[in-house]
Structure 1
């Protein structure tokens, strides 16, 4: 169980270095584990960059992202490029100007678990899967589905997926307490997922952080790394990809956005 932070656009430089190379923290995630029947903080996982290489490590001391001292990290592991950057098939679209868009890069904070699994390349495979989904959606666009501009490619491998940049997430808008056209937001989200379902796709991870809002409150569904065809698919819990997954999640969001004093959520924490 962990709480993560990640800022791909504002990498945090530190004063330390490895053999003269500047190190930058890319991701951090606090770990909470059950100790004597109580969940307690047991450490912080980090991903950092040194030169052209990425590393995974663990911290014992609890620190904010900007205060992490990389030299105190233990269990340091080099993350091979092939573990998170798949070869780009020739049929994929290369983005023409990735500097003017949002570039989604894979999260690597779980690499320790990936490395100990039966498939150490599952992150790269997930990137490839999302790219394939986005290539398909490029042929079937919808005003409530994020516009993919193609892949960011370096040395024949995929380094990121490029999307049109949108102002803010639904989660942030609600947290800021800003007014919005709730019925328009919910209807747009439903229109987007119905479009996916007509294409025999299920999003499988619909939540307020995966919905962006335009300035006129038009919702845009993002993040397709869990999107699958409507047949059995497997994750840690051996779940099934069904349209009801998205419709149930939409119901939760509708309740979350309601003005009811007492929220009646379907899924309990």
Structure 2
């Protein structure tokens, strides 16, 4: 179990990579390499879950970790949720497993979600509309949302443009429109008791994201995918005030390391009383750890 008193922060956004560290048969390696170049990531091969646990343990930072199920849309093979959860359980002092299910799987996906929570201790679910090729308010996703809402676990949605597919031919066939946060407003209305996290500063739709979070009490924002030094002033202003209890630290590991994010966050004009909320307390409350 995670010792909240001993860790300095909870990173709400880290990616699980398969042990082989490569997907040479389906193009995933090329995507990762281009993203690493975009972010200036400090590794040659993506770190495994074990590597991730060791790195975060050294940094004294707990981490929410997840795969992304985008097989249908991209052809990138799926990293099994069960395996991610099993390896994470071996590092339960530092890792918090989330799962990912393509919403197009409908009732089959809903059954999987319930099973993953009951049998594997999964603590939440990750969606990536750009990679998975769907609008979050598409009714085909609702059977899966219903199952997640029944479990009481949070749903984390990628929003905005954060570098996935950037610079690749045709943006690697990824359509940014799916990750406009405005579509999550419908989800927040239709599932008012399901915690929803909008991942990343939602460039170029930051004000839409802030409007939703201020209007819907079941919506949070994780600040991953960008160095804090690039945060727009309006995001910092809301984080310091009316949304201080619903902002979450996230790095977007392995593209951004937690130490890089945290170092840049130190330079950000955030009130002293707000810093612990963003770095740990809000996440601990949302995850039921406190």
Mark yes or no: TM-score above 0.5.
no
Larger RCO: Structure 1 or Structure 2 (Cα < 8 Å, ≥ 6 residues apart)?
2
Which structure has the highest strand share of the two? 1
Q: Greater Rg, structure 1 or structure 2?
A: 1
Which structure has the highest helix share of the two? 2
TM-score between the two structures when normalised by the length of structure 2: 0.27
